[in-house]
Amino acid sequence: MTAILELSGVTRAFGERTAVEDVSLSLLPGELAFLIGPSGAGKTTLLRLINRELPPTHGEVWVDGIPAHRIKPGRIPALRRRVGVVFQDFKLLPRLTVLENIVFALQVTDLKVSDKQARDRALDALEAVGLGDRGGDYPAELSGGQQQRVSIARAIARQPGLVIADEPTGNLDLDTGVSIIDLFADIARFGAGVLVATHNLQIVRRRQQRTLTLVNGRLVRDEPAGRVGKLGWAQSS
Amino acid sequence: MGPVVLKAPFPRRAVYLTVVRNVLHHLFFGAALSWIRNLAGTAPALISMTLLLILAGVVGLGGFALHLLADRESADAAVLHVYLSDDASSTDVDALRLKLSADSRVRSVSYTSKADALKKAQNRPGLGDLASGAGSNPFPASLDVKLKRVEDVSGVADSVSKEKAIDPVQPTSYDPGAYGRLQKALTYLAVGGGAFLAIFGLVAVLVTSNSIQSAIHARREEISIMGLVGAPNWMIRGPFLFEGALTGGLAGLIAGLLVSIGAGVGATVGGSNRLGALVPGFTVSTGVAAGLILLLVGILLGAAASLIGLRRHLMAPEG
């Protein structure tokens, strides 16, 4: 099976400081993987390299067959449309309802999507995350966990091949965080590759999915699903 | 049973219609709604643009009036008034007129009687009351000589100075230094006006783009989200461009109305065209044209300032 995400010898430096160093990994469609590591390990930088918010200093980043490392600026939006991104702070537009947030994201990225198609797809996505009856609410009327579900619905509404999430449970309590991770597992079961950056080790241990450990920008451990043992970066260094 | 005709929209046309509808919805209607919603945030930009445009309108109208005046002075400089003595005989006047008409440097000669000279003076601002108040008519009759070249004024004035019909006290309107002074004044006016317009344009763009940038900065989250979900840059830029044009358009409309009304009142106060008397060619429609120009300049300025303000938020990823 062809990988949906492939990183090969990726390094990203900011001046003297190297945030990500010589990272190589691949993710298959339908695979859920956790990216763990202490604060400042380079998790967010790695996700930003995948969504081409940053170019790598060295190495190659392939997303769904597109070379993100040497893409022209004008093609970046097209690459981002193949990646669903979930943020720790949800990034929902407060002036739009939940449904409008998803419709807006669908239509500004593809003008050929009609109002009806966009609404149908947005409603499907909201159903999938368990919020089918909250489409008319504004983000401020929802709890943190519900807002994160909306953010996930927005990410999957376009049915991207790859979903990346940066600390999606960072602002949530443990039970809500677990339900959000369950949602990511469901998304992976439907065929998307899912990469979740987190430092919530409890959830990672409970899920027993493939786990990639990043320390000081280097990928120090890649544990396959079902064989996630003792976690903690202190032991890796 | 007859054949069943399926009525469905032609698919390609349906897609085009959807694209047009979405462009209208997100680029224009959405932007207009968002502009109304964020009017409070846009207020500083709106106020500064309106003030700048009013100033531009006033300065522009002033410049235009000076240009009209300079044109009139320039045209007047090529006309030599040969003043006739009150007791000049009609034979002497005719002889002088014939002599002037025969001169190859002269384009045309016309006669202004004492009564016509008084009437003209009564229409001139400042001279009207003086002329009406005088017991007798102090203005001489004249032969008004239009010359082909302004440089020939002095030669023609010299050639008629010994004629019998001429007023011995003030023979002609020729002022030796007037032409040089006029040329100098026109040059200063052009250079000064050009420099002022350049500085003013720069200040206007800087002030406006700074004000609009603050409004855009307040909505950086929205811009960032659009970019992160994969909206193309033109789709992000478009609504802000339209919102900038709306801000500039409203500022231009307010400034245009105020300047037009001001110019209109100036031109028609007291029932007579006072500005028109001071500055020939300046009418109410001049003020209306100035208003429309300000509206257009406002729209362009707002859109340009929005584009400049957005640049910072739409920088391509480094590298």
Q: Which residues of B13-26 are buried (b: 16+ CB within 10 A; e: fewer)?
A: eeeeebeeebeeeb
Rounded to the nearest angstrom, the gap between the alpha carbon of residue B119 and the centroid of all alpha carbons in its chain is: 31
C-alpha to C-alpha distance for A107 and A122, rounded to whole angstroms: 11
C-alpha to C-alpha distance for A82 and A61, rounded to whole angstroms: 14
Residue A16 has pLDDT above 80, yes or no: yes
Burial class (CB in 10 A: 0-12, 13-18, 19+), B150: middle
C-alpha to C-alpha distance for B50 and A19, rounded to whole angstroms: 48
Does B218 or A24 have the greater pLDDT score?
A: A24
pLDDT classification of B127: cutoffs 50, 70, 90: low
CB neighbours of residue B162 within 10 Å: 8
CATH 3.30.70.3040 occupies which residues in chain B?
Answer: 85-166
CB contact under 8 A, B230 and A95: no
Q: Minimal Cα–Cα distance from B11 to chain A, Å? A: 11
pTM as predicted: 0.67
C-alpha to C-alpha distance for B180 and B229, rounded to whole angstroms: 68
CB contact under 8 A, A77 and B231: yes
Q: Is the dihedral of CA B96, B100, B102, B107 positive or negative?
A: negative
pLDDT score for B150:
75
C-alpha to C-alpha distance for A185 and A30, rounded to whole angstroms: 9
CB contact under 8 A, A108 and B235: yes
Residue A226 has pLDDT above 80, yes or no: no
Cα dist from A154 to A52, A102, A109, A171, B308, whole Å: 19, 5, 12, 18, 30
C-alpha to C-alpha distance for B228 and A84, rounded to whole angstroms: 9
pLDDT score for A115:
87
C-alpha distance across the termini of chain B, in Å: 68
Residue B216 has pLDDT above 90, yes or no: no
C-alpha to C-alpha distance for A119 and A114, rounded to whole angstroms: 8
Contact predicate B200/B290, CB 8 Å? no
pLDDT classification of B252: cutoffs 50, 70, 90: very high
CB contact under 8 A, B225 and A95: no
Q: Which residues of B36-66 are buried (b: 16+ CB within 10 A; e: fewer)?
A: eebeeebeebbebbbebbbebbbebbebbbb
Cα–Cα nearest to A192, from A79, A85, A76, A51: A85
Q: Minimal Cα–Cα distance from A218 to chain B, Å? A: 22
For B99-122, how does the pLDDT look when each residue is reduced to its tens digit (9 = 90+)?
999 999 998 999 998 888 888 877
pLDDT score for A214:
94
CB contact under 8 A, A55 and B319: yes
Does B8 or B16 have the greater pLDDT score?
A: B16
Residue A80 has pLDDT above 50, yes or no: yes
For A36-64, how does the pLDDT look when each residue is reduced to its tens digit (9 = 90+)?
999 889 999 999 999 999 999 999 999 99
Domain B85-166 is found in CATH 3.20.20.70:
no
Does A14 or B191 have the greater pLDDT score?
A: A14
Contacts of A51 in chain B (CB under 8 A): 228
Give the three-state DSSP class for B5. Answer: coil
Residue B274 has pLDDT above 70, yes or no: no
pLDDT score for B227:
84
Cα dist from B89 to B84, B95, B111, B142, whole Å: 10, 10, 14, 13
CB contact under 8 A, A91 and B317: no
Cα–Cα nearest to B297, from B85, B54, B24: B54
CB contact under 8 A, A77 and B18: no
For B51-102, how does the pLDDT look when each residue is reduced to its tens digit (9 = 90+)?
888 888 888 888 787 777 777 776 777 788 899 888 888 888 888 899 999 9
Cα–Cα nearest to A153, from A183, A191, A189, A177: A183
Cα–Cα nearest to B304, from B196, B205, B166, B188: B205
**Torsion angle, CA of B173/B178/B180/B181, rounded to 10 degrees?**
-160
Instruction: Nearest chain B residue to A77 by CA: give it.
Output: B230
Which residue among A54, A108, A154 sits closest to B226, beta carbon to beta carbon?
Answer: A108
Token code pair at residue B197 = 């317009």
B120 in contact with chain A, both atoms CB, cutoff 8 A: no
pLDDT classification of B318: cutoffs 50, 70, 90: very low
pLDDT score for B190:
76
Backbone angles phi, psi at B158, to 5 degrees: -65, -40
A226 in contact with chain B, both atoms CB, cutoff 8 A: no
Contacts of A92 in chain B (CB under 8 A): 225
For A125-166, how does the pLDDT look when each residue is reduced to its tens digit (9 = 90+)?
998 888 999 999 999 999 998 999 999 999 999 889 999 999
Residue B204 has pLDDT above 70, yes or no: yes
DSSP string across chain A: ---SEEEEEEEEEETTEEEEEEEEEEE-TT-EEEEE--TTSSHHHHHHHHTTSS--SEEEEEETTEEGGG--GGGHHHHHTTEEEE-TT----TTS-HHHHHHHHHHHH-TTS-HHHHHHHHHHHHHHTT-TT-TTS-GGGS-HHHHHHHHHHHHHHT--SEEEEESTTTTS-HHHHHHHHHHHHHHHHTT-EEEEE---HHHHHHHT-EEEEEETTEEEEEEPTT---S--GGGT-
Residue B319 has pLDDT above 50, yes or no: no
pLDDT classification of A119: cutoffs 50, 70, 90: very high
CB contact under 8 A, B319 and A108: no
pLDDT classification of B21: cutoffs 50, 70, 90: confident
Quote the mean pLDDT of chain B. 79
Lowest mean pLDDT among A65-79, A110-124, B188-202: B188-202
Residue B1 has pLDDT above 50, yes or no: no
Residues linked to residue A203 through DSSP beta bridges, in sequence order: none
Contacts of A139 in chain B (CB under 8 A): none
A113 in contact with chain B, both atoms CB, cutoff 8 A: yes
CB contact under 8 A, A54 and B231: no
Instruction: Nearest chain A residue to B11 by CA: give it.
Output: A112
